[in-house]
């Protein structure tokens, strides 16, 4: 059973991290693999005590970045600092992984099958006099006091993850790195472990950098998210900032279910496939863009479909997805755009049904130059 204290701690947290010193910094970091460039001129600062997640699709450079932070790979250019100490750079010796004051939680947990939980946690500790006290402290932190003598094969997936986390925390690293920490867990356990791991990290006060391609995971546990694409960071910010105000079309498309309304901006209005939108509902749109062709970002909860007569409306229902609490309908607009509308599970439309699409967003919409 998970330690209920961890859930209580997580619920009581203030999601806004206080201003803090920089614990980890990358400056103009680049990594090549032959003719291919995996990471290009990457700049990133991670604050003391925060949990930052590198988020992006496969091949975007996030795992390469994590490996360079861990000391498993050398950058070809740029500088990496842990606190005030340079651990990789053109004019300094390369600091090996074990001397970086950085811990790493592997994707497969990498526990020693022949050692008990307590022995796994103690493995990286050298001071035998203090080992027992540290192990007991960490067993209490991760809620595994009753499993101290068990071996990994006697534990659940969530328990094994907590052992791996405790083992990495044992030497008290300045920074903890987590490589796809929830990918080997089933969906229900994954959701529960996100909250538990965040609570453990906050209780320990450790700075952490996580890597994932799972946007729900990144948005739910992180203090800040850094979205990566083609070896570069597209945007860094609090989860709600990145999701609600994506600074690039890639970030907008990668996070959530994005739809785009083609529009022509003129005389303070944007003409779209669902009607005229006033400039004040589109973030940053001003008379300076008069005559511009733009694409307006809309997500399923921004739109509602309303039944229409066969010879009226804006478009036709061409698909639907039932999620339990809601339906998400795919609507092909007469303008040629395709959007999604989210409705309560009690609201049902048939395929090929004509509908009018209304904008119901309670926030300003992002926009991008038309493609």
Q: Are residues 149 and 220 in the same domain?
A: yes
Q: Are residues 146 and 283 in the same domain?
A: no
Q: What is the reported pLDDT for 11?
A: 40
Q: Are residues 237 and 279 in the same domain?
A: no
Number of residues that make up the chain: 371
Q: What is the 3-state secondary structure (H, E, C) of 105-165?
A: ECCCCCCCCCCCHHHHHHCCCCCHHHHHHHHHHHHHHHCCHHHCCCCHHHCCHHHHHHHHH
Each residue's pLDDT tens digit, 327-346: 999 999 999 999 999 999 88
Strand partners, 266: 269
Q: Are residues 65 and 126 in the same domain?
A: yes
Token pair in block for residue 169: 């925390």
Q: Are residues 237 and 289 in the same domain?
A: no
Q: Are residues 160 and 292 in the same domain?
A: no
User: Could you give the percent of the chain with pLDDT greater than 70?
Assistant: 94
Q: What is the reported pLDDT for 107?
A: 82
**8 A C-beta contact, residue 110 and residue 168:** no
Q: For residues 152 and 121, what is the distance between their CA atoms, to the nearest angstrom?
A: 12
State whether residue 299 is helix, strand or coil.
coil
Each residue's pLDDT tens digit, 143-159: 999 999 999 999 998 99
Q: What CATH number does residue 324 fall under?
A: 2.40.50.140
Q: Are residues 262 and 139 in the same domain?
A: no
Q: Are residues 281 and 244 in the same domain?
A: no
Domain final residue, candidates 230, 248, 266 = 248
Domain final residue, candidates 248, 279, 307 = 248
Q: For residues 107 and 124, what is the distance between their CA atoms, to the nearest angstrom?
A: 18
Q: What are phi and psi of 58, to 5 degrees?
A: -60, 135
Q: Are residues 37 and 122 in the same domain?
A: yes
- pTM for the full model? 0.87
Q: Are residues 97 and 242 in the same domain?
A: yes
Q: Are residues 278 and 177 in the same domain?
A: no
Place 126 in a pLDDT band, splitting at 50, 70 and 90: confident
Q: Are residues 47 and 180 in the same domain?
A: yes
Each residue's pLDDT tens digit, 1-10: 344 433 343 4
Q: What CATH number does residue 106 fall under?
A: 3.40.50.300
Helices (H), the chain: 4-11, 62-70, 117-122, 128-142, 157-169, 187-204, 215-221, 239-244, 249-254
Question: Domains in the chain: how many in total?
Answer: 2
Residue 66 structural domain = 4-248
The more confidently predicted of residues 207 and 311 is: 207
Q: What is the reported pLDDT for 19?
A: 62
Torsion (CA) 271, 354, 360, 213 in degrees, nearest 10: -90
Domain final residue, candidates 201, 222, 248 = 248
Each residue's pLDDT tens digit, 169-187: 999 999 999 999 888 888 8
Each residue's pLDDT tens digit, 256-270: 899 999 999 999 999
């Amino acid at each position: 059973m998970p330690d209920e204290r961890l859930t209580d701690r997580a619920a009581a947290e203030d999601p806004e991290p206080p201003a803090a010193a920089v614990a980890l910094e990358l400056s103009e970091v680049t990594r090549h693999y032959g003719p291919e460039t995996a990471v290009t001129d990457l700049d990133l600062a991670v604050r003391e005590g925060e949990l930052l997640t590198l988020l992006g699709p496969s091949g975007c450079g996030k795992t390469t970045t994590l490996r360079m932070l861990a000391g498993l790979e050398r950058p070809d250019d740029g500088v990496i600092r842990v606190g005030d100490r340079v651990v990789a750079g053109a004019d300094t010796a390369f600091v090996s992984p074990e001397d970086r004051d950085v811990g790493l939680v592997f994707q497969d947990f990498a526990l020693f099958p022949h050692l008990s939980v307590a022995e796994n946690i103690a493995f990286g500790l050298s001071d035998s006099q203090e080992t027992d006290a540290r192990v007991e402290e960490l067993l209490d932190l991760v809620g595994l006091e009753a499993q101290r003598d068990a071996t990994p094969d006697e534990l659940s997936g969530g328990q094994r993850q907590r052992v791996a986390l405790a083992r990495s925390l044992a030497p008290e690293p300045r920074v903890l790195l987590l490589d796809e920490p929830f990918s080997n867990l089933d969906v229900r356990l994954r959701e529960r472990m996100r909250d538990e791991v965040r609570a453990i990290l906050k209780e320990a006060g450790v700075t952490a950098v996580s890597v994932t391609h799972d946007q729900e995971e990144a948005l739910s546990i992180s203090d800040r998210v850094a979205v990566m694409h083609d070896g570069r960071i597209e945007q860094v910010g609090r989860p709600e900032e990145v999701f609600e105000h994506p600074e690039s079309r890639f970030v907008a498309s990668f996070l959530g279910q994005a739809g785009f309304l083609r529009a022509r901006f003129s005389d303070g209005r944007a003409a779209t496939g669902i009607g005229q939108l006033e400039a004040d509902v589109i973030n940053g749109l001003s008379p300076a863009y008069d005559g511009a062709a733009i694409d307006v970002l809309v997500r399923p909860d921004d739109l509602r479909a309303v039944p229409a007569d066969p010879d009226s409306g804006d478009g036709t229902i061409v698909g639907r997805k039932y999620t339990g609490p809601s339906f998400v309908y795919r609507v092909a607009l007469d303008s040629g755009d395709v959007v999604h509308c989210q409705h309560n599970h009690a609201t049902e439309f048939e395929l090929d049904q004509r509908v009018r699409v209304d904008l119901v967003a309670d926030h300003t919409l992002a926009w991008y130059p038309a493609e």
